[in-house]
């Protein structure tokens, strides 16, 4: 199945996982994981063993680039 193209922030959940964030940022999951571990990915936090990202902070990061 082909991944759905995200064209608007309203299509993004409030909390997203790293693969979804990677699609938005055009980066690899591994590079985002490393940035999250170093505290360089705004809104990233651990949820058990998984990394999650806050939509609002990711949106601010993308729009501030």
**CA distances to 2, 7, 8, 10, 64 from 40, in Å:** 30, 25, 24, 25, 14
With respect to residue 60, please indicate whether it lies within any of the assigned structural domains. yes
With respect to residue 7, please indicate whether it lies within any of the assigned structural domains. no
> What's residue 3's pLDDT?
65
With respect to residue 46, please indicate whether it lies within any of the assigned structural domains. yes
> What's residue 32's pLDDT?
95
Question: The domain containing residue 37 runs over which residues?
Answer: 14-64
With respect to residue 3, please indicate whether it lies within any of the assigned structural domains. no
With respect to residue 6, please indicate whether it lies within any of the assigned structural domains. no
With respect to residue 32, please indicate whether it lies within any of the assigned structural domains. yes
Integer Cα distance of 63 and 55 in angstroms: 12
With respect to residue 5, please indicate whether it lies within any of the assigned structural domains. no
Domain tally, the chain? 1
pLDDT per residue, tens digit, the chain (65 aa), is 556 677 788 888 999 999 999 988 999 999 999 999 999 999 999 999 999 999 999 999 888 86
Among 10, 41, 45, residue whose Cα is nearest residue 25: 41
With respect to residue 2, please indicate whether it lies within any of the assigned structural domains. no
């Amino acid at each position: 199945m082909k991944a759905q193209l995200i064209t608007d922030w309203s299509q993004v959940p409030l909390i997203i996982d790293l693969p979804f964030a990677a699609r938005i940022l055009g980066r690899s999951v591994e590079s985002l994981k490393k940035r999250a571990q170093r505290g360089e990915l705004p809104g990233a936090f651990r949820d058990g063993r998984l990394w999650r990202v806050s939509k609002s902070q990711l949106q601010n990061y993308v729009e501030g680039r």
